[in-house]
Structure 1
Amino acid sequence: MDLRQALQQRVLVADGAMGTLLYGNYGISSAFENLNLTHPDTILRVHQSYIDAGADVIQTNTYAANRLKLTRYDLQKQVTAINQAAVKIAEQARAQADHPVYILGTIGGLAGDTDQTVLQATPAEIAASLTEQLTALLATGKLDGILLETYYELPELLAALKIVRTKTDLPVITNVSMLAPGVLRDGTAFGAALRQLAAAGATVVGANCRLGPYYLAQSFENLAIPANVKLAVYPNSGLPGTDQDGHVVYDGEPSYFEDYAERFRQLGLNLIGGCCGTTPLHTAALVRGLASRSIVGRTGKIAPAQPKPLAQTLGRHAFLQKVATQKTALVELDPPKDFETAKFFKGAQRLKAAGVDGLTLSDNSLATVRIANATIAAELKLGYGITPIVHLTTRDHNLIGLQSEIMGLHSLGIEDILAVTGDPAKLGDFPGATSVGDVRSVELIKLIKQFNSGIGPTGKSLKQATDFRVAGAFNPNAYRTNVSTKSIERKISYGCDYIITQPVFDLANVTALADALTANDIHIPVFVGVMPLVSKRNAEFLHHEVHGIRLPKTVLARMAQAEIDGNERAVGIQIAKELIDGICTRFNGVHIVTPFNRFKTVIELVNYVQAKNLIPTK
């Protein structure tokens, strides 16, 4: 009988992990899928071990055997060979089995992968990569079904399922992965996700990875799924740990799986296997733990869907409301490097009195250690009534720390964030420090905006929706007349609300940026950066040593002459005012960077920007 018939008649036991087994038992940490070509006997032994343990269903060693993931090992030209070798090995294992065995061609999800090739891939490239792998697997003619597993993003899985359904009528098992029981990380209820997958053509729907038996069983309890929909579960052996050498290890007892096998059956599961940390011993435990192979029926009653909370509007983001119709000035300050903060806060008070619309606070700019900007922001907001815009870098915070920072900012009532990568760590006080970079700045934007729906990083309710408005950075200095807006468009697609640019010193770049935004029909508030020069040496440093900033020869010459004439400050201010004049002909937003705590200089420029609102329009 084929796989569909088997799923109708009895509960099937699937195999367990491949990658963690190769890593833990064989010490292999390279491209596991390439072993199909270099060490086929090793993969064959793994399959045979699972079959000997009683597995009815095995999956090919092809989880990451796609072009995008294989590129990191320079194996992108081996996609077809690796996938077809995997099917051949699985077929060899089945031929030696003493009971019927079904083979699933495995295709893994991409969301959450930190490799740059994957992160930068377009939807079209992802679709092409999946299609190439799928075509290679199907060409063997030996598969009983396709397994799409470890998908954290429901849209990605639905897109993958759509492609598979255009290529084959074979059974398709679709497994989502959850960070918390009962909910995907975008807040979609587990049951709702499974219903969508079933409606889209999946033969079996379920979950795998991340969670162990306890939480996955909890997720399937009282699940409102039509009775005719088949369910699958592939739990991890438990939570991972590390050994003395820092290697990831799983130590979940196989007997624990034996205890849960019958519970999964009673919950109406049709396909029960294992994921990370599981071994043939866990598979054997599942077989022992099943009191019967008969399928337990379900009622299939569907609860009404609950609407997601909507993101809030601009709310208290006054400067974003103002910039739509008036010239608006933001000022960037670097938090103090030491505990002598009186001058800093006095200067901030002077800026407020001058009518500045908001203060942006850098996050250890140039990788130089300063007081945490969230702490300074809280003091400015709570102690002085000043609107802070906090820079948040992906350089200094891992994914856990970023989310904690976001929650902390909301708790302090701080609602404006500039998401940036941050200057490389090697530039600063501690060149040996590492840059984290768990996510890119665009993904940080998406992460922050998710909190606005009241959904946390695991998909669980936060009991309260945030009201963040997120800025994206842009450097127009790399261009003259042809500005690429692709990075801005991508940031907008991830939820960016406005743009803050690097300081500009050439009005040609301002014009080019404005023209490019108009040509591409991009309408988003833009605050163009202005940094007043304080000396010839300052100008030369910025031009020669700061990445992404170049000064026109005319500006360098003017500052050189100013040094001779002894009026460097005045010339620097005049150049800044000329830039503001040019910016304000095309943009309403100006972002003034404070040089060396020169508050007097910046206040003069803030007044200059605001005076433009008093000039009658013609």
Structure 2
Amino acid sequence: MKPNFKEYIRERVLLADGAIGTYLYTKGIEPDKNIERLNLSDPDLVYSMHEEYIRAGSRLLETNTFGANRLKLEAAGLADKTRQINQAGAALALRAAGEEIYVAGSVGPSGADFPLADPAGAEGDAVREAFREQIAALLDGGVDLLILETFSHLEELLLAIQVGRQLAADIPLVANMVYPQQGRTAAGLDALTCGRAALEAGADVVGSNCGRGARALLAAIEKLAALGAEIPLAAFPNAGFPEIVDHRLIYPAEPAYMARVVGDMVKAGARLVGGCCGTTPAHIQEFGKHLRLKRRPLARAIDRGSADGGPEGQAPAAAKPGALLADLPPGRLPILVELDPPTHLDISGVLQGARALAAAGADAVTLGENPLAVLRADNISLAHRIRMEVGIPTVAHLTCRDRNALGLQSQIMGAHLLGIEGILAVTGDPASAGDQPGASGVFDVQSFGLIRMLNQFNQGRNPAGKEMKGHCNFSIGAAFSYRPGNPELQIRRLERKAALGAVFAMTQPFFSATAVEEMLERTRHLDILIFPGIFPLISARNADFLHHEVPGISIPEELRRKLWSYAKAEDQRQAAAEFTRELLAAICPLIDGLYLISPLNKWEVTAELTREVRQAGWSGSGRRLSP
């Protein structure tokens, strides 16, 4: 017999299950297929997933009904089966749960665009009815509680709570929002404000799920803790920030790391903990092993035409070094330094940083395009301002995520007209993991197709073969994620990018001189300049976050332990700075160029390192590409 849910979580921490959608994708379900339909078409698969989570230690199961409201099901042609899908989802979870495990009816956002233009009219009525139909079906199906999750707009969450309370005044109700920006919604609302509003509307438990990884969700829980020790909180983090590998989303955060961070959430007041996107039964099992669960003191990604983004069988033209590489001063190590465009309209800080970097001796400033899918100012416009007002060359990152093939070509032409010297072609981080609700990726081409497209414009024609009455002169860059444990795949990708027209590569951060030397040896055959990325660490927590939650970054355990051996943040910073200096001294005489990444946009750190490299007088490998 299950104890009273509200009483239970006031005394103990309850371990819930992990992801449903992303976990079912690993079972072979196509990502563009409706997951909730499986309650009817493949109930055994859904049931076996519930059983896996129970074996992993889950004591609360969510129904496979997150998107099972009429407005969302209509797009899949299943609107007439709304009640049937929800009741089947409840029945499957209840059958797996037996007499001792709670079942929560999962309700996600309606799919309508919020804020509503007419909340009191027909538009608002349609959303209310969609929630009413779904929640009524779940209640009739016998769920023990309701969990409203992944809501980005407070207005929509309050509406769903209102409907839930009208249908069942006493059933436990959990209300989770997404806080991607240090405890704030994408619209800027503070978690504490949202939590208070949800409690006033009738929620019993408030918290957060999904978002931008465990650390970001911890920030939200720490803010919600101000509601008071008597208010139970819910925490369901993602398994880090996903990357696209072979058309699949891969989440990097390891179970043991997430268990440690979720432990911090428990200390902050979380009483209901589980996992969201990317988590699996392995994560839940690790949570159960390490948390000591007791009372606290808890896309679419294909290239059109050929895989290289051009007509089938057409060989790419020979690449040109481009303006950036051609104008590098001889006899010294090239240095590129990355800054992030601001998340607002004030660019004075970035311009100040660019001036400092130019004075320190940087050869170019590189600017990401909405890195990690976080909304920032347009990088090509900012690159032009930097070029005009500071005089330092620029490298603009260009993603395949944000524009279709037509828009990419137009942007390439615009970058040429604005005098941009270099472009780094990248596929782009998944929009769904960013800070803009409802944003989606385009991906008409991936990085290979974009490199070929840039090379064609450098030759004076567009991908359709039309002459452009001139030609671009970009130095075309490629991203290179060298992974010492299994480098062959990424090296093959870099070989292909070089063949398509890339003339330089910027790598993910290195934290080992030995790894850099191995990378140089393994890529010696390539006619492409490689700029190893160096990320100056600033704290032990910073190192842990990068290692566990950012794809492609691996920081040696020995270094992370060393930083944690210092109690004070300032001592950690000094130890990290000394490590970076030693790393630069070891690799700078060997490499083609250096790519410095400003930590948290702290350009003072990279400006000082640039100055020190210039004072040391390193010339690097001295390798240059012939015109």
Greater radius of gyration (CA): 1
The TM-score normalised by the length of structure 1 is 0.48
Compute the TM-score of the two structures, normalised by the length of structure 2: 0.48
